[in-house]
Structures are given as structure tokens and as C-alpha cells.
Amino acid sequence: MKFGPHVSIAGGLPNGPLNAQEVGAETFQIFSRSPRGGKAPEITKELLADFKKNLKDANIESFYIHAPYYINLASATPRIADSSIQILKDELKRGSTLGANGMMFHIGSAKDFGKEKSTKIVIKAINEILKDYKGTTKFLIENSAGAGEIIGATFEEIGEIIKKVKNKKHIGVCLDTCHMFASGYDFRDAKSLNKTVKDFDKHIGLEYLQVIHLNDSLKEYNSKRDRHADIGFGLIGKKAFELLVNHPKLNHLDAVLETPQKEIVYEKAIKKLIKMDLGHNK
């Protein structure tokens, strides 16, 4: 398993690999545009050359892009639904240009139409996004914590969507541990972890699992609340992460931390926290 953080691209996209290199990351995650809105910065030939040079110098072979937070494929407002589709199309294109392994996104909310109709709308939207897509960046559904009417909290929901995606070659899943725990999937002991892995394989298929977001949780099991904590400082606990990163069906994956520590503290902690304390080298 390769580990790394979500890093800043402040000052330009080429700073992403540099920031990852500074903390000794083996993989990393970035936003390629502001997650809150606005026009995406152009990927010029010069910028692309700088980005790829920095990536090579950092000796990092894999990285990921996170889509903006405001995506909602099931919105009743045409402007939001249509722009969500276009932005995700654009982010896949940008990811392929940069060489990203995957681009994860949050599906959106079913509050406007209810779960059944919203799921159909989401499937239609994903099929539109992937209809003519021939890029190299995987389109990754991220599981949700289950708050309100947010779609994708259960493996069954995600599996139902993937089953009806036509371009399965380019679809995958990003599994967030905080969201998983909050939505009722336990992994704090070996038995619970094995059950959760089996449930994922049954309803989605482990072949679709591409990357894991490693986040502890400030909120209790099955709380439906998305509140990240630093590894070992939340209610999931360090032992659970040691079991997860060493699980034989998961230990080949990339893992990205989205923990809340301030960057400078995180930079000093990452190698000890993940590689040493969690048994990366066992």
C-alpha cells in the first residue's frame, strides 16, 4: 500500500507534486480547480511540463484528483445538474492530461426527487459523462456518510449504480473510512473488517475498488455524520487502520489521508503515523 496526503496546489498545479515530495508521500491527492467554484486554471503546455517534471523528480507514480464539493448529479435545478455533468467531464479530461490515476466525486443528494428517481437520474448522468470517454483517469464514486438524503452511503446503492453503468472500464470506487464507519460499516476488529470487505465484494466487487481515503472519525459508529479525525485520535482507533492497511485484499491499494491536522504538523507526522505505527513494513 502506498500512502500520501491531500496536498495544496496554491501557487499553481506544479506545486502539488512538490508538496507531496516534501512530506515523503508515495501518492497524493489534489484539487485541479477550486472546490468551492470558479473557472478552472488552464493547463498550458508549460504548466503540464512543469507538473510532470516535478512528479518525476518526486518519484511518485500515482496521484488522484478530487472533484469540487458542489457537484450534485440529482439536482432538480437544471443549471446545477447540467453544470455538474460538464464539470465532471472536464475534470476527467484534466485528469487524463495530467496523468491522474483517478478522479473521485460525491454523487449528490436525493432530496429533490427521492432515492429511487434520483438513482435513475444519477445513472443516466454517469452514462452521459462516460459515453465517449476514452481517457486514462478512472471515474471514482466516493461512498458517503449517510447524512440526510445523500446518495451512496451503502454498498448496495453504489453497486446498483455501477451495475447500470455502460462504460464499466472507466468506473471505480474510492472508499472513505470515516464515511464507511459513519454509515454503519465497522472494521475495528478482524471479524468486522472481513465482513465489511465481503459485503463490499458482494454488492460492488473488489475489482472496482481503486483507492482508500484513510480518515478517523470524530463521531460514533453509524452516526451518519461526516467529521474526520486524525488517525488514532478518533472513535475508529489506530488498531482498525493497522488491520485495514495490512488486509491481504486491500494492501495493494493507494491510500490518501484527508485528516484535519494543519499542514506543517501533518508533514512531520505522516511517515511515523502511517508507515511505522500502522505496520506498513510488516
- As beta bridge partners, residue 55 has none
Say what the pLDDT of residue 230 is.
Answer: 86
Q: Is 220 a catalytic residue?
A: no
State the pLDDT at residue 158.
Answer: 98
Predicted pLDDT of residue 260: 76
Class at the top of the CATH hierarchy for domain 2-276: alpha beta
Catalytic residue among 26, 176, 216, 254: 176
> Which contiguous run of DSSP H or E holds residue 81?
helix 78-98
In the residue annotation, 227 being an active-site residue is answered as: no
> Terminal CA-to-CA distance of the chain, rounded, Å?
11
Residue 242 is predicted with a pLDDT of 87
Q: Which residue in the list 142, 157, 216, 254 is annotated as catalytic?
A: 142
Catalytic residue among 26, 179, 266, 280: 179
pLDDT score for 238:
86
| Residue 258 a catalytic site member | yes
Q: Does the annotation mark 176 as catalytic?
A: yes
Question: What angle is formed at CA 262 by the lines to CA 31 and CA 260, rounded to 5 degrees?
Answer: 70
> Would residue 247 show up in a list of annotated catalytic residues for this protein?
no
Cα–Cα dist 52/43, whole Å: 12
From the list 33, 94, 170, 228, the catalytic residue is 228
**For position 280, what pLDDT does the model report?**
39
pLDDT of residue 261: 67
Q: Tell me: the pLDDT tens digits for 3-33? A: 888 999 999 999 999 999 988 889 999 999 9
| pTM summary value | 0.92
Torsion of CA 44, 45, 48, 49, to 10 degrees: -150
Catalytic hit among 6, 94, 170, 213: 213
Which residues does the chain have with pLDDT short of 70? 261-282
So what's the pLDDT on residue 259?
85
Q: What is the pLDDT of residue 262?
A: 45
Selecting among 26, 216, 226, 254, the annotated active-site residue is 226
Beta-strand runs (E) in the chain: 2-5, 27-30, 62-66, 102-105, 138-142, 171-176, 209-214, 216-217, 228-229, 254-257
Among 22, 57, 69, 156, the active-site one is 69
252 is annotated as an active-site residue: no
* Residue 269, pLDDT score: 52
Set of cell numbers at residue 206 = 473488489
Round to whole Å and give the CA distance between 270 and 280: 12
Q: Where are the domains positioned within the chain?
A: 2-276
